[in-house]
Each structure stands twice: as C-alpha cells, then as structure tokens.
A and B are shown apart, each in its own frame.
Chain A
C-alpha cells in the first residue's frame, strides 16, 4: 500500500526503464513516449523476469502476406519465451486473451509535492533534486 517515489522524470528518458522493488514486489517502471507505466516483473506464463524484456510493437496480418506494424515500443516481450504484454494495460497479446500481468498506477507529480520531510531520504540518497524537477511516483494498491 502506498505511494513510492521511483525516480526523477529525467532519470527514465523515453524508451528507458527502471526496475524497482517495493512491498516485496519487483516492478518495472517504463517511459514510453513520455508517459510512464509500471508492470510487475513476473511473466504470467512461467514467472520469467518480464521487465527485462524488449519493448517491441504489435505485428498483425489481416490476411497472409499483408502486414501491419503498429504501437511501436508499447509491447513488452518476456526475455524467456517471448510472451507479449501491452505495456499500458498489462494485457497479454499472446496465447490467451484473458492472461494479464499486474500493472500499477503511475503518477507524475510536481517536485514540490514530495519534497516534504516524509520523502526526504529519497531525494538525498537516490535522486538528485532540481528545483524544477518532476518525480515519477509509483502507486501500489
């Protein structure tokens, strides 16, 4: 339960990710085209480290030989067996339409909101604070 400061926005540029551990869970926080998403680092198939996988797109063929590539960088492929999950929803696009990996709510909040005493250690120990800096905050249910 709770809100966790994961990183300064600038620490995770578009296309990059950060693996974090909170409340006994390993979680990958991704920046996709400027928006942040967080997924459990555990594939719904065999438990592989999903968030170490490659970000890829969505390849479809309505009929054989006619290919359409879309949503580049929004599909996360497990490094083990290549199962793909929608980075935005955790929805699997492989094997079973009902298979999901856990996704978490992510907020980007202005730096001033979390520079109070409670969040102090995060600023000092891990993330440099710039006055204009914004932070990535992970919300765990």
Chain B
C-alpha cells in the first residue's frame, strides 16, 4: 500500500491556509528500549535490567489501537510511532507547515515508585530529547521530565537543565499521588518559577489510587472519557492550597484534559469560596481569577458540540481565549487535525491566537 498518498483536495486546503500553527503536544518515543542505556548513567544499568519500570497500576486498559497510535503513524524505521524524526517531519511538521512543536514524551519516569531511579530515568529522557530531537530539528522544543512525586528531586533536575533554551516547560502527569497543591510539590514549583518555566500537567499517569473518584471503571472508554475528573481536583487543589499566593508568577498548562468542563467548575469554585472561604484565608481573590490568570489549556481532544455555536458560547463562558493552546497529540489515535479541529466560523483573530500566538507568547518562541 502506498502509505503516503493523501487526498489532494485535503493537501491543497491545508497549504492555502495562512494561519500559523504551533503544536503543543507531540509524543516522541525511543526507537528501541536499548536506546535508553546510552543516556542512563552506568550505575543504574543493573537496576534497570533487573528491576526496571515499577509504577502504580493506572491507565493499564487496552488502548484499542497499538501504542494508542494512529494506524498510519507507524514509522519506516521499524520503531514505535513517534520515534522517527524524518517521518515526524513528513507527517506532522512539514505536512502542516508548523512553526514549532513542543515535545511531551510519556516516559513513566515521574510515576516510578523508586524515586531515585525515576529521577535517573527523567534525566536520561531529558538528555535524549536534546540530542535526538531538538538538536536535529530547530522547530522542536522539549519538556523537562522530573520525578515529580519528590519535590526536591524534581527541583534538582530543573536546576540541572532549566537554563537550556531547548526546554520550555516542566512536565507532570495528571494522576498524581496527592493533589498537586500539596506542599510536597512546592520545591518543584519554586524551581520552575526561578527558571521562568511553566509547569505542564498531562493526561494519564497513576498515583496509586483508583483512577476515578468513584473506583475502578470497566473500560478504556471510561478511562479516556473520564480524564477531566482527574484534572478538576488538580485545579481546585492548586487554587485552594494557596499555590498561586506562594508563587504569583507560576504558570500551569493543562494538556489533553479537554476544556468544556472549565466554566461550570470555576462557577462552582467561586460559589463555594463565597460561602466557605474562611477555611482558606490565604486566598484573596475569587478562584476564577486565579484560574484565568495562572492556567493555560490545550485544545485536544476537543469536545465536539453538536452545534458549532455551542463552542463559541463555551469560549465566552471560559473567558480564557488568551490561554488556549492548539495541540494535535500526534501520533496518538485521538489526533486533532490543525485544519479541522476548531469549528469553522471562529473569529480569525481568535483562531490565530489559539492555533499559535498564545503558545508563542507563553513559551517565548519567535
């Protein structure tokens, strides 16, 4: 089968578009498991071989698609989807003439139960991102992997690589051991703020508890569809723990958690605070004000309302149009097409902001 044949009508449309594109969620992978050994310190090799990855049970539901990937994303190098730079250029960066792409590798290093080993893995993946991706492709930027369950270990890695221009944010998974407002994570935020790096929180992970607030679901569709309920308590925790009072310049990016749930959540938090605010006297503003100032949200997977004007209403209700960042989630199966994801009829200025300009500003890209 001629795998690169794409409908010409589709190609023409995408090339005629003048809207710049920055993709804020690209999953790259190592070509093979052996590749990791090149970047992992020798002292960890034996542990890696004998013990290896030991995380919590969580998002272990069969993905319906191998590697949770688009079936047309298997690269010619024989490795997993997202492991071949040439193919990634062809299928993503060049195909849509993207200005920049932000790498968000899902490495599992942050969820390791052996925190020191997790920190060693995180450092290895950071060095790999630079050597194999950003140094070879100037449109790419990297995310700092950290052993986020230990604030100090995470801060140490941010100190090690945080000044490098190749990294634009710190990356965590949304299902953590405890809600992210807890003080155990504050050293990490302190280091991120010191290096002026946003902290990004991505779909997935496992913190040891059931993956929903009401126990274990039966299906992958519930794991996937229910992910917003992992994001919502994180937003509440950041706000009510006073994280933004302690770190007034901290920026948090929510990746792949959807966005349609945000308006009712902040309405609820606001009305709770008006009645129960005495419990959290360190808060000096409405929860919605902290949220609108400190959170950025990526688009994919876009909720797809049955009527296009519902989406416009949603954006009005959120009032965070300067905080929305376009993302494809390449090479995963729920990939959003840059030309198809946003509803047609959206204001052009707003479209440009979401597709690239908000990300350009946040990540200080040219």
Contact = CB atoms under 8 A, between A and B. Distances in A.
Contacts of B187: none
Nearest to B69: A79
Contact of B7 (A18, A40, A54, A82): A40
Contact of B70 (A17, A24, A41, A80): A80
Interface in B289-348: 333-337, 339-341
Interface in B214-239: none
Contact of A24 (B9, B72, B336): B9
B5 A42 contact: no
Interface residues of A, number: 22
Given A25-B9, A46-B341, A49-B72, A81 B3 contact: no
A52 interface: yes
B8 A26 contact: yes
B333 A24 contact: no
Interface string A75-96: 0000111100000000000000
Contact of A25 (B8, B64, B65, B72): B8
B334 A81 contact: yes
Nearest to A24: B8
Nearest to B8: A24
Contacts of A73: none
Given A79-B71, A82-B64, A52 B3 contact: yes
A22 to B, nearest CB: 10
Given A24-B9, A45-B340, A79-B72, 14 more contacts: A21-B5, A25-B9, A26-B5, A46-B337, A46-B340, A47-B7, A47-B339, A49-B6, A79-B70, A79-B71, A80-B70, A80-B333, A81-B335, A82-B333
Interface of A: 17-19, 21, 24-26, 40-42, 45-49, 52-54, 79-82
**Closest CB pairs A-B (n = 9):** A79-B71, A46-B340, A26-B7, A42-B7, A46-B337, A79-B72, A19-B5, A52-B72, A24-B8
Interface of B: 1-3, 5-10, 64-65, 70-73, 333-337, 339-341
